């Protein structure tokens, strides 16, 4: 299998997030179908690389189960027509599958299911979501914030390295077809 990221024209990048975007905690009235569709859109680039991330193919029931196992945040865009979900991040997900050794430590917290709508990427919404969970980890007394990512996605690895994360170890989840890289940042 080859993991080659397709060549995609990159849009100009704005420095500041759009002013009509707010990050808030997921509420029961948020649509799991809308959130799942957002995840599928965001992870499509990895799927097109031949990777099979869970968030790129999970159904709405799985999204509900995953989001209720941790603290889920959403970035919403307020328009005249109402709110639209444009990003999400899941702080402290508790998974059924055994996790990597780094995650087992008391001083380490983690996030997962991190996505921004491809239509609106590169505007700092990802950074707003990361700031939110890093703040929550500090409030919970963690000294490290960790994550698991698809190792073949070199552009994503650079994204995290630029934000202070470092490589810790490899891990194989039972539901993916690639090796994961565990990264962590000292808070």
Ligand X SMILES: CC(C)(COP(=O)(O)OP(=O)(O)OC[C@H]1O[C@@H](n2cnc3c(N)ncnc32)[C@H](O)[C@@H]1OP(=O)(O)O)[C@@H](O)C(=O)NCCC(=O)NCCS
The three state secondary structure string of the chain is CCCCCCCCCCCCCCCCCCCCEEEEECCCCCCHHHHHHHHHHHHHHHHHCCCCCHHHCCCHHHHHHHHHHCEEEEEEEEECCEEEEEEEEEECCCCCCCCCHHHHCCCEEEEEEEEECHHHCCCCHHHHHHHHHHHHHHHCCCCEEEEEEECCCHHHHHHHHHCCCEEEEEECCCCCCCCEEEEEEEC
* Sole binder of ligand X in the list 4, 6, 10, 106 (CB under 6 A): 10
β 82-91/71-79 pair status: antiparallel
Q: Does 26 bind ligand X (CB under 6 A)?
A: no
Residue 42 found at the interface with ligand X (CB under 6 A):
yes
Of the candidate spans 29-37, 42-50, 133-141, 164-172, the one that interacts with ligand X by CB under 6 A turns out to be: 42-50
Kindly indicate which of the ranges 62-70, 99-107, 114-122, 165-173 contains the residues binding ligand X, using the contact rule CB under 6 A. 114-122
Quick note: the x/- pattern for ligand X over 139-178, rule CB under 6 A, is --------x-x------x--x--x----------------
Q: Determine the interface stretch with ligand X among 29-37, 61-69, 97-105, 116-124 (rule: CB under 6 A).
A: 116-124
Residue 40 or 64: the one with the smaller Cβ distance to ligand X is 40
Query: Quick check: 100 binds ligand X (CB under 6 A)?
Result: no
Provide the 10 A C-beta neighbour count for residue 93. Answer: 19
Q: Provide the minimum distance between the beta carbon of 119 and ligand X in the complex, in angstroms, as a whole number.
A: 9
Q: In angstroms, what is the minimal distance from the CB of 131 to ligand X?
A: 9
Name the site residues for ligand X (rule: CB under 6 A).
10-11, 13, 42-43, 46, 114-116, 121-127, 147, 149, 156, 159, 162
């Amino acid at each position: 299998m080859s993991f080659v990221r397709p060549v995609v024209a990159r849009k100009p990048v704005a420095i500041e997030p759009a002013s009509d975007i707010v990050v808030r905690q997921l509420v029961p009235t948020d649509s799991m179908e809308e959130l799942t569709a957002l995840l599928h859109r965001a992870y499509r680039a990895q799927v097109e690389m031949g990777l099979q991330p869970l968030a790129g193919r999970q159904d709405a029931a799985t999204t509900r189960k995953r989001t209720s196992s941790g603290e889920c945040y959403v970035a919403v865009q307020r328009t005249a027509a109402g709110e639209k979900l444009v990003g999400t991040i899941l702080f402290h997900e508790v998974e059924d599958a055994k996790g990597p050794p780094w995650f087992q430590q008391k001083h380490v917290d983690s996030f997962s299911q991190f996505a921004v709508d491809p239509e609106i990427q590169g505007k700092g919404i990802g950074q707003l979501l990361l700031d939110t969970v890093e703040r929550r980890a500090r409030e919970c007394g963690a000294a490290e914030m960790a994550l698991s990512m698809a190792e073949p996605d070199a552009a994503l690895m650079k994204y995290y390295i630029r934000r202070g994360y470092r490589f810790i170890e490899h891990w194989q989840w039972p539901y993916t077809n690639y090796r994961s890289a565990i990264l962590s940042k000292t808070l």
